[in-house]
Chain A
Amino acid sequence: MSGKPPISRAREIFPDLADLSPLEAEERIAEIDRDDSELATALRGLLAADRAAGDFLDGGAAGFAPDLLEDLAAENAPAAEDRIGSTVGPWRLVSVLGRGGMGEVYRAERADGEFEQRVALKLLRPGAASESLRRRFLQERQVLARLEHPNIARLLDGGTDDGRPYFVLELVEGEPIDEYCRDRRISIEDRVRLVIVCCDAVASAHRRLVVHRDLKPSNILVTADGDVKLLDFGIAKLLAVEEDGGVTRVEERVLTPDYASPEQILGEPVTTATDVYGLGLVFYELVTGRLPHDRSSAEGKALASNVERETVERASRAVAKARAEDLAAVGLAAEDRGRLASRLEGDLDAALSTALRREPERRYASASAFADDLRRYLAGKPVAARPDTVGYRFWKFVRRHRGGVAAAALLFAALVAGLAGTTWQARRAEANAQKAQASARDAEAQALRARRVQEFLIGLFQVADPDRSGGQTVTANALVEQAGRRLQTELSAEPRVQADLLEAVSRIERSLGNLDRAKQYAEKAVTIRRAQKPPDEAAVAGGLAAVGSALTGQGKLDEAEKTLRQSLGVLEKHESGDRLAVARVRADLSLVLFQKGQLDEAEKLQRRSYEAYRKELGADDVMTAIHLRDLGVILEDLDRMDEAEKVTRSSQAILEHKLGPDHVTMAESYLDLAVILERRGRADEAEPLYRRTIEIRRRALGPGHLAVGEALQLFALFLRNQRQLEESEVRYQEALAIFRGIDPKHFDVGKCMNGLALLASDRGRYAESESRFRELVAFFDEVLGPKHHFTWMVRGNLAYQIAAQGRLAEAEAIQRQVVEKLEVITGKESGETAEALERLGDTLRRRGALDEAVALERRALAAEKKMGGEGHLGLAAASFQLGAALAERPEPESKREAREHLDRAAALYRKLKPKHLRLPEVLIASGRLAASGGDRERARRDLAEAVELGSLLFPPSDPRVVQARRELSSLTGRSARS
């Protein structure tokens, strides 16, 4: 028993004793004491100690010796700690956050205590960049300060301290993205998501003309919440030292060659494409555990020549043969290699090799494009990245350059528009001054304003200079956005100029489709103008007009009309003022009224507006011609087709002459004319115009632009009307992809889905059509909600497809509900309700419920008649349905009445739309009616025409045509026998 030390003997008994009461415990120990007094003594000692110990040692070393452990860590921190408490520039160092090759990173705070701000301060090793750094920082600070993005750590300050450059950044508590992925075993999908966030942040910086140049895992932190923050934006550029030749060479010093792009190593210009490469590298490393190249051994010239020859191994291949340690370094398991490789193969391989191309111009055109492709991957759609073929390279080269040209053209247009307004005002003011001999000072002030505007615009252009923007041609969009941002604060000493420009930018934003910003700038302009002492009433009205224009774009028509009328009222009082401003407001108001369907007043206003432009700027002016074109649209809607065509063509001629046939503005002219020609039955002339429109817009605006989608959709509709169903479907699909890309809930997404569903129905694919309509019903339920009539109208379409498949009871139930809802939403006598009644009546007729069918069709016909006009398609449809229902009744008077309605229907269709899908049905009903009345000649004639037309409009298998053909042949057969 005494072989083991007492503690080892005690350990099996002691815990049980410790749980007993002292008295019970002592009883047990006394028992033990009889055999083993050594153990008993040990137990007594332990028991006493246990009772006295409290939570002794339970808190671990940290609880036992907290100050010692703190001291331990503190003492181990080297010299950096010595700087704690000292100041760098206006910042006091609080603690050390880390150390790296470049220097140390501290947590810091404002030394003057002016405001509380927790920041990270990077103190770099002394270097050549130091001397001019402060100056360069001040030059860049406005740009950098504008980098507001939730995923970018803002750069707050920079300079040198005692020869050491430093930067101050927003403090981020997180770990580098590679460690984050490793430690948390982040899935490949989530890694893709993280990279997408990075791409979006980088793209946002690029839009503000800042290129990172030094993207690598240690610059991309992920917080505990999974938020991504990009560090050090703009720092690499600040540290860049310009050589005499203007080539930056610094990167060698600052950058680790591992993460540098080929162009950086080769001393070629750094552009936004450099960051695309950096993002590609980070992503590559996150999914393979290694970089696509090994640059560790080479230096200097050898490095450069290696880079020239560098090829990027496909990620899937790299991962398949990766070392376990490399994979483990990013939290991937070696045994998953095979699975990983197959995940990467294909789309991700293609995306990575596109991002990592040696030549910057062959990479993704932007970080957003990279992100889009990754999103497509996540959504399971094919990515846009393509294998690197010569043809593809050429295509892409052309596309990129065209993009640049188009952006430059737009920019120029914006500039001219901005200047035109002010120079015109200056001219105007001069004229006024002379006439009234009022004040030369006024003219001078106007001239000064024009100069200020010029300066501002030139300033914008300088930023757009590729050298300053990092090599990428700046898009017009980015430029205008920047102009708007700058105008919020700049030029506030010149409030009138500021307001003028805000209005101009508001209109440009409006035309670019950025309606919220358009409204915001216009409202700001109004505020500025109202604050003037005394306020210039006319100028305030001008600002209001811009607000109204933005409201129109947002579809808030009533509000827009009110604002514009208010503006117009004031401006008309100041008729001596800017006549074009008045004309512009009239045109804006005309547009609102046009959209509200008040066509007569819209036409009047548009005409006055056009006349004013013609007088002020001449008939040949671009703006005059555009106002003329808009008049054409209104005339077309008023069904004054001759006038509409004439006006549209003469506007087109002027614009073509002034802008050239490829200008983006021409697309609208061609589209307007195409619609007119189509309506006039000249489809052959219309078709090439549609194609031309799409081509121009694709080239000028990019393939994914909203306007391209609109043109495609109109063309698809045209093609459907022309029974070119296959191409129509292709165009609808293209349009659908564009709208979905812009916003999956875009209303036009629904329009395209509807078009596709109707196409399927046209082609006799009712089951496909049914499922498409079901999808659409779900879409409208979500996007429009149950109070919108479209939501119910598409259910009507759905029911039609169901009925076409013979499921009449199911269709009837839906149709009854649709009628009920539409009566409430649109009124009992609306066109929508009438159509729903017609369709329900049709189903009831087919089910044999003739009485109710006739009653409903009568109601529908009455409503259609009230809709006005003797000849519209709704009337034709209602007449047909009533006629068809009556024709099935046995009484002779019903048959007589049926004949009347069917003849009216046929006549209307022949007149309005000879290829209408309903016409064959009307003819079949008419033929049957004739046959039942013994008029076999009429029956044969109608059925023959139905078969002929039906074969043209429907697929050969269409049951209506098949049946009609059978009836026709039996008629002919019988007549042949007789």
Chain B
Amino acid sequence: MIGNGGTGRDQGLSGVPRAADPRPITALLRAIEAGDAAALDNLFAIVYEELRRIAQRQLAASGRRRTLNTTAVVHEAFLKLSHGLPWSLRDRFHFFATSSRAMRMVIVDHARSRGRQKRGGGRPELSLEDNVAAIDLQSDNVVALNDALGRLEASDPELARIVEWRFFGGLSVEEIARALDVSERTVKRHWRTARAFLYEELARGGFGA
């Protein structure tokens, strides 16, 4: 009953490698640990595809207006790609890092493409109830957030990672703490700091809600 791959959409996937690596996930993880950059790219490609597919199915299956649950998507991808096998801490770290990054790419790519459509097609009439308007606004916010996150990354990659994992990857504080091998308290403190940083950045740019 479930779809068998292929997303049917080919535009706007900047910098995403498309070919799936035939190696099993565990082998890729080993290679990544050994410093194989190509393996990381390939893992990313696999995860990216998987996330898109799951995201699409998840939303389609809900049937009514419901938003995408990134937590569920990443976890489903994790289960699917890990085949339910227990992974080492290192593997888990790589997977969460990769999948959260991929999820971020999926979302930001989409926000950018919406922005292009908007600018290309001229602004439609604005209305508060209008879904199109909401999507446009949210697209802008997501792109702005992504840029701000890029600035945080440049200053403090550790803080940025927590945002990426929690915000885009949908991971819980507990999961992040375990994968990073730090206390949950540390994760919460970092999150609060990073959040304040990003709010300040976005407020400076004048974002709307």
Binding site for B on A (CB under 8 A): 5-8, 10-11, 14-15, 18, 45-50, 52-53, 56-58, 60-62, 64-79, 81, 94-101, 105, 107, 176, 182-183, 185, 218, 231, 324-325, 328-329, 331, 333
Contact assessment for A11 and B114 in the assembled complex, using a CB-CB cutoff below 8 Å: no
22 sampled A-B residue pairs with Cβ under 8 A: A5-B155, A7-B152, A7-B193, A15-B193, A49-B197, A52-B199, A58-B195, A61-B167, A62-B70, A67-B131, A68-B138, A69-B67, A69-B70, A69-B107, A76-B56, A94-B63, A95-B60, A95-B63, A98-B57, A98-B60, A176-B2, A325-B83
Q: Which of A52, A67, A73, A81 contacts B55 (CB 8 A)?
A: A73
With contacts A60-B70, A98-B57 taken as known, whether A183 is within 8 angstroms of B110 at the C-beta atoms is no
Give A927 to B170 CA distance when docked, in angstroms.
Answer: 95
Quick one: which of B4, B134, B170 contacts A101, CB cutoff 8 A?
Answer: B4
Q: Look across to chain A and name the residue whose beta carbon is closest to the beta carbon of B188.
A: A15
Q: Is the contact region of chain B dominated by helix, strand, or loop, or is it mixed?
A: helix
A72-B106, A76-B52, A328-B83 are known contacts. Are A11 and B138 too (CB-CB below 8 A)? no
State which residues 104-129 of B face A: CB under 8 Å.
106-107, 110-111, 114
Residues of chain B contacted by A72 (CB below 8 angstroms): 55, 68, 106-107, 110
Q: Which residue of A lies closest to B57 (CB)?
A: A98
Report the separation of the CA atoms of residues A523 and B79 in the bound assembly, to the nearest whole angstrom. 56
- Say whether A11 contacts B110, CB under 8 Å: no
Residues of B within 8 A of A (CB): 1-4, 6-9, 24, 52, 55-71, 79, 82-85, 103, 106-107, 110-111, 114, 131, 134-135, 138-139, 141-142, 145, 152, 155-156, 159, 163, 166-168, 170, 188-190, 192-200, 203
| Contact (Cβ within 8 A) A328 B85 | yes
Contacts of A329 in B (CB 8 A): 83
The reply to whether B56 and A73 contact each other, CB–CB distance below 8 Å, is yes
- Option from B2, B139, B189, B194 in Cβ contact (under 8 Å) with A68: B139
* Shortest Cβ gap from B91 to chain A (Å): 14
A91 to chain B, nearest CB (A): 14
Q: Which of the residues A8, A60, A98, A325 comes within 8 Å of B155, measured between beta carbons?
A: A8
Q: Besides the contacts A49-B197, A71-B114, A98-B2, what 5 more A-B pairs have beta carbons closer than 8 Å?
A: A56-B199, A61-B68, A68-B142, A76-B55, A176-B1
| A61 close to B170 (CB less than 8 A) | yes
CB of B142 within 8 A of CB of A64, answer yes
Closest B residue to A289 using CB positions: B83
> A100 touching B3 by the CB < 8 A rule?
yes
How many A-B pairs have beta carbons closer than 8 Å: the answer is 195
B74–chain A nearest beta-carbon distance, Å:
10
Which residues from A are CB-within-8-Å of B9?
Answer: 75-76, 78
Q: Give the distance to chain B from A327, nearest Cβ to Cβ, in Å.
A: 8
A53-B196 contact in complex given A328-B83, A329-B83, C-beta closer than 8 Å? yes
Q: How far is the CA of A697 from the CA of B131 in the complex (A)?
A: 75
B166 / chain A contacts, CB cutoff of 8 Å: 60
Kindly list chain A residues whose C-beta atoms are within 8 Å of the C-beta of B82. Answer: 328
Closest to B155 in A: A5
B187 vs chain A, min Cβ distance (A): 11
- Tell me whether A60 and B1 are in contact in the complex, defined as CB-CB below 8 angstroms, given that A48-B200, A71-B135 are known contacts: no
- In the complex, which residues of chain B have a beta carbon less than 8 angstroms from the beta carbon of A99? 1-4
| A residues less than 8 Å from B138 (CB atoms) | 64-68
A56 and B139 in contact, given A68-B114, A71-B114, A99-B4 (Cβ under 8 angstroms): no
Closest-by-CB residue of B relative to A15 is B189
A45 to B201, alpha carbons, bound, how many Å?
10
Which residues on the A side are within 8 Å of B7 (C-beta)?
76, 78
In contact, A73 and B68 (Cβ under 8 angstroms):
yes
Task: Give B147 Cβ to nearest chain A Cβ, in Å.
Answer: 14
A77 close to B60 (CB less than 8 A): yes
A806 to B78, CA, bound (A): 69
CB distance from B145 to the nearest CB of A (A): 7
What separation, in Å, do the CA atoms of A824 and B156 have in the docked complex?
88
Question: B156 touching A62 by the CB < 8 A rule?
Answer: no
A75 and B3 CA atoms in complex are apart in Å by: 15
